[in-house]
Amino acid sequence: MKDTANETIVVDGQTLQFIHSGHAHTKGDLIIYLPQEKVLITGDVLFHLRTHGFQDTSPLGNLVALRSLKKLDFNRVIPGHGPVTEKSSTDRMIEDVYLLYEEVKKRHNNGLSDFEM
């Protein structure tokens, strides 16, 4: 994911930066950053107080996206699922995705099927 917005528009004095994260939750993820308000609208790239769904997700892509988003200056996050939260939720989501990825990888390397995991 690029560190800069893919496109920026200004509507009634409000700057909106549209960021395509690459394949994170899905291939079509779009994040909206409002730098003046210090608000990040993540869609399903970030869940808060909800279990993340991984049907079409790239866990490694999700980690890259979340780590890149942390570089932005924001205080509030409007996640894809769950209540509005703060920037620290990105750390929690990174930890959750990383843990799940590592545990699945370990079991896969030990020959377990998806059903057995």
Burial of 31 (0-12, 13-18, 19+ CB in 10 A): buried
Confidence at residue 15, expressed as pLDDT on a 0 to 100 scale? 97
* Class of the CATH domain delimited by 7-109: alpha beta
Residues 6+ apart with CB under 8 A from 80: 25, 42, 43, 44, 45, 46, 47
- The whole-number pLDDT of residue 117 equals 84
- Low-confidence residues in the chain, pLDDT < 70: 1-5
Residue with tokens 């099927």: 113
| Residue 71, pLDDT score | 95
pLDDT of residue 57: 86
Q: Do the beta carbons of residue 26 and residue 56 sit within 8 Å?
A: yes
> What pLDDT does 5 receive?
57
Q: Residue ranges of the domains in the chain?
A: 7-109
Task: Please give the pLDDT value at position 95.
Answer: 95
Q: What's the first-to-final CA gap in the chain, in angstroms?
A: 30
Determine contact, residues 86/76, Cβ cutoff 8 Å: yes
pLDDT of res. 56: 84
Q: Which residues contact 45 (CB under 8 A, 6 or more apart)?
A: 21, 24, 25, 29, 31, 62, 65, 66, 69, 80
Nearest C-alpha neighbor of 46 from the set 1, 103, 87? 87
